Amino acid sequence: MSDVAAIRRFNRFYTRRIGALDEAHLGEPFGLAEGRVLYEIAQGGGLTPKALASETGLDAGYLSRILKRFDREGLTDRAKSSDDGRSVTIALNDKGRAAYEELRQVAEDAVEGMIGALSAAQREELTSAMGRVEALLEAPGAGEVMLRPHRVGDMGWVTQRHGELYAREYGWDERFEALVARICADFIEQFDPARERCWVAERGGVRLGSIFLVKGDKPGEAKLRLLLLEPSARGLGLGKRLVGECLAFARASGYAEVTLWTQSILTAARGIYAAAGFELVGQQPHMQIGVPLVGETWRLKF
């Protein structure tokens, strides 16, 4: 099957699955396009027809008919635009807001119904795959990935995803997951916010990666730890960005050097470290996580 045929097949499956072709989407009195316009008006708090056309990509004539229906049903109010005296802004009134909230709840319930039988791991896999589809198909600059500090729940995710990904890709057993869990526990219990940091890469509420900087074993030394990228986020330059953020914080915090411990088989990560200026300073065979590996120590001095 060609790429085009596979994508068209998926489109047919998904539009059928979400009822996109139904005249009344999700059993509500609105079609899919009308629901989208209602959503954009609710989020915008006063948008011109031109802005709505830009956000939705709808033909101007089709959009005009949708807006006239909203007017007839008393869902929207119009006001003269403060930016363009020749145009108007459109906002939901109380009735329109109630209609939007009802549609939003029905849509969220429908999605929950679709994924309700999936396990937590399957949900994570699904949202990760969707994020990858967005990254490949959306316009440049859209769906920006943000780097944020850790919060409750992140350490469990870091531990789980390290265990799952490295078991699947390298055959490492639960001893590696236990090692990651200990590192995460130590980070939380001994956390020094002035000298240590965890960054979680996130887009649209979906975690894509993480990295840690912690105090080292000697004065002036920091350790870079637990660089992780979801498969859906690889190839986006996110690993380089995470390491760069980590090193910038280390410099600003007054560290003289940053060290890290990795494995010789992790070629992608080693490439990121080398490009950032790290140098390999030591190698040691070991069986610490259940398989024969060659551990490596890398160092970057400021």
- Of 117, 136, 157, which residue is a domain's last? 117
In-domain check, residue 140: no
Q: What is the pTM of this model?
A: 0.56
Q: Is 141 left (phi over 0), alpha (psi -120 to 50) or beta?
A: left
Tell me, yes or no, whether 104 and 173 share the same domain.
Answer: no
Count of structural domains, the chain:
2
Asked whether residue 248 carries a pLDDT value surpassing 90, the answer given is yes
Tens digit of each residue's pLDDT (9 = 90 or more) over 162-221:
999 999 889 999 999 999 999 999 999 999 998 999 999 998 888 999 999 999 999 999
- Of 73, 98, 117, which residue is a domain's last? 117
Asked whether residue 28 carries a pLDDT value surpassing 70, the answer given is no
Please tell me whether residue 76 adopts helix, strand or coil conformation: strand
Beta bridge partners, 213, equal 197, 224
User: Domain limits at 99?
Assistant: 3-117
What is the CATH classification number for the domain harbouring 195?
A: 3.40.630.30
Q: Structure tokens of 177?
A: 């997951």
In-domain check, residue 158: yes
The C-alpha atoms of residue 55 and residue 283 are separated, in whole angstroms, by 54
The C-alpha atoms of residue 258 and residue 135 are separated, in whole angstroms, by 32
In-domain check, residue 174: yes
The C-alpha atoms of residue 238 and residue 229 are separated, in whole angstroms, by 8
Tell me, yes or no, whether 104 and 155 share the same domain.
Answer: no
Beta bridge partners, 149, equal 199
In-domain check, residue 283: yes
Per the prediction, the chain carries an average pLDDT of: 87
Tell me, yes or no, whether 201 and 262 share the same domain.
Answer: yes
In-domain check, residue 122: no
pLDDT at 229: 94
Please tell me whether residue 19 adopts helix, strand or coil conformation: coil
Phi, psi for 135 (deg, rounded to 5): -60, -35
In-domain check, residue 33: yes
Tens digit of each residue's pLDDT (9 = 90 or more) over 260-300:
999 999 999 999 999 999 999 999 999 988 889 999 999 99
Q: What percent of the chain has pLDDT over 90?
A: 47
Interval 94-116 mean pLDDT: 84
Beta bridge partners, 300, equal 258
In-domain check, residue 60: yes
Q: Structure tokens of 162?
A: 């390290």
Tens digit of each residue's pLDDT (9 = 90 or more) over 134-163:
666 654 444 588 999 999 999 999 999 999
pLDDT at 26: 59
Tell me, yes or no, whether 109 and 168 share the same domain.
Answer: no
- Of 117, 133, 155, which residue is a domain's last? 117
The C-alpha atoms of residue 68 and residue 80 are separated, in whole angstroms, by 17
Tell me, yes or no, whether 94 and 173 share the same domain.
Answer: no
Tens digit of each residue's pLDDT (9 = 90 or more) over 38-67:
888 887 667 788 888 877 788 888 888 999
Tell me, yes or no, whether 90 and 181 share the same domain.
Answer: no
Q: Is 92 in contact with 74 (CB distance < 8 Å)? A: no
More confident residue, 247 or 33: 247
Q: Is 232 in contact with 128 (CB distance < 8 Å)? A: yes
In-domain check, residue 141: no
Q: Is 32 in contact with 14 (CB distance < 8 Å)? A: no
Tell me, yes or no, whether 37 and 159 share the same domain.
Answer: no
Q: Give, as one character, the DSSP assignment of residue 212.
A: E
Q: Give, as one character, the DSSP assignment of residue 146.
A: E
Tell me, yes or no, whether 169 and 274 share the same domain.
Answer: yes
